[in-house]
């Protein structure tokens, strides 16, 4: 029975462990922090899943397969951790995110293109002044991230995998796949380094290409008078404008409204910059005025700081060196592909074509939309 060592228990590490366990492998997962780790990039109440993907056809074409992979996981877990509220993107200028998403969105048959008056009629929470068109993906919505991580940990433990919390890996022999951690050493047929922002420390040769990015997320209560509209409102991927990056997740039972402002995201130090600031809150709230009805009456509840690993051009990295696989499938948008990444990497390692599997995961070989 082949054996895998997986370093890092974020969504990609756990999903790969799941994929390999389903194929009969012996799997050990080593996590530097607790299980799950609240400092991991994957840990949050929820994450967006959506078909609007800019002009990156190579990644956008995988969304259908990503939904199917999640369905496979739900069947194994015995629970569905996806709320399909739909996702809406609005275009206000040529070249903004929704405009750049249009070609791939249409090519993939992902959903509906809406005229401004249709947006206003169906989604009145989103002002349409200056809107050119909207893209609506009815299959999209929110993946309940923390519940997914906890259930994957539970499933892996019940199916024979070994999970070790508080076991930071300090050294890796890529040729043999042997790793060193407090209390011992261990190796296998393959070692997968999926340690998130900890990956550059284990693979210093990647440090110049992979950088930790700091993102802020504001949880809040919407304006009380808009509560009824929020009950059926979609999540959103972009509200238009080439210099705006507004995205968010609608409130759901037991879950608050979540708003993000990508303009505030950039390189940061996870060791020293995890505290949120009043400036982060003020800038996020100000950006939503005129973009969401009642934005000036939103009540902040909490501001979270999340760090993820950014690869060149926002891509994913999958590479093999000896018995070691280097995996960074994040760049701020990797969670939605987590189940699919795990299944694809497991197939590539279990007698498959590794190069072809890596190309699928990274979206390589698909021409960008014109």
CB 104 within 8 A of CB 56: yes
Q: Flag whether the pTM goes above 0.75.
A: yes
Q: What is the pLDDT of residue 163?
A: 98
CB 364 within 8 A of CB 38: no
Q: What is the pLDDT of residue 73?
A: 99
- Distance between start and end Cα atoms, the chain: 47
Q: What is the pLDDT of residue 273?
A: 92
Taking Cα atoms as reference points, which of 327, 357, 44, 13 lies closest to residue 161?
13
Query: Could you give all domains of the chain from N- to C-terminal order, each with its CATH number?
Result: 3-44+145-208+313-362 (3.50.50.60), 86-140+211-310 (3.30.9.10)
Q: CB count, 10 Å around CB of 100?
A: 21
CA 110 to each of CA 87, 88, 105, 262: distance values in angstroms, whole numbers, following the listed order: 11, 12, 5, 24
Q: What is the pLDDT of residue 129?
A: 96
Q: What is the pLDDT of residue 19?
A: 99
Q: 3-state class of 13 per DSSP?
A: helix
Taking Cα atoms as reference points, which of 44, 80, 21 lies closest to residue 345?
21
Q: What is the pLDDT of residue 20?
A: 99
Q: What is the pLDDT of residue 368?
A: 37
Q: What is the pLDDT of residue 58?
A: 79
Number of residues that this document lists for the chain:
370
Regions of the chain with pLDDT less than 70 = 365-370
Cα–Cα distance, 196 to 36 (Å, whole number): 14
Cα–Cα distance, 118 to 53 (Å, whole number): 22
Q: What is the pLDDT of residue 332?
A: 83
Question: Please, what's the b/e burial string for 64-83 (b: 16 or more CB within 10 A of its CB; e: otherwise)?
Answer: eebbebbebbbeebeeebbb
Q: Checking DSSP bridges between strand 190-193 and strand 3-7, what pairing results, if any? A: parallel
């Amino acid at each position: 029975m082949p054996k895998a060592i997986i370093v890092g228990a974020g969504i990609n590490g756990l999903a790969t462990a799941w994929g390999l366990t389903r194929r009969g492998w012996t799997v050990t997962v080593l996590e530097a922090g607790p299980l799950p780790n609240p400092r991991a990039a994957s840990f949050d109440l929820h994450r967006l899943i959506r078909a609007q993907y800019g002009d990156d056809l190579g990644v956008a074409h995988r969304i259908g397969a990503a939904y199917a992979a999640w369905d496979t996981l739900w069947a194994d877990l015995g629970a569905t951790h996806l709320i399909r509220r739909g996702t809406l993107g609005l275009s206000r200028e040529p070249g903004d995110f929704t405009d750049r998403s249009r070609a791939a969105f249409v090519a993939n048959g992902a959903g509906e293109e809406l005229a401004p008056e249709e947006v206003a009629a169906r989604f009145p929470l989103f002002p349409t002044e200056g809107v050119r068109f909207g893209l609506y993906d009815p299959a999209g919505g929110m993946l309940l991230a923390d519940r997914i991580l906890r259930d994957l940990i539970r499933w892996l433990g019940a199916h024979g995998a070994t999970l070790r919390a508080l076991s930071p890996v300090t050294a890796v022999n890529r040729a043999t796949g042997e790793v060193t951690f407090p209390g011992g050493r261990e190796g296998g047929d393959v070692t997968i380094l999926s340690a998130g922002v900890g990956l550059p420390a284990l693979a210093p040769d990647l440090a110049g290409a992979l950088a930790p990015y700091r993102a802020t997320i504001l949880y809040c209560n919407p304006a009380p008078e808009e509560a009824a509209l929020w009950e059926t409102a979609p999540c959103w991927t972009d509200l238009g404008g080439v210099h705006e990056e507004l995205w968010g997740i609608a409130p759901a039972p037991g879950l608050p409204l979540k708003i993000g402002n990508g303009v505030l995201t950039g390189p940061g130090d996870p060791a020293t910059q995890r505290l949120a600031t009043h400036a982060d809150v003020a800038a996020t709230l100000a950006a939503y005025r005129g973009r969401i009805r009642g934005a000036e009456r939103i009540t902040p509840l909490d501001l979270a700081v999340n760090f993820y690993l950014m690869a060149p051009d926002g891509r994913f990295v999958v590479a093999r060196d000896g018995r070691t696989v280097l995996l960074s499938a994040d760049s701020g948008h990797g969670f939605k592909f987590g189940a699919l990444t795990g299944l694809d990497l497991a197939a590539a390692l279990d007698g498959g074509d590794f190069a072809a599997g890596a190309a699928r995961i990274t979206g390589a070989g698909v021409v960008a939309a014109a």
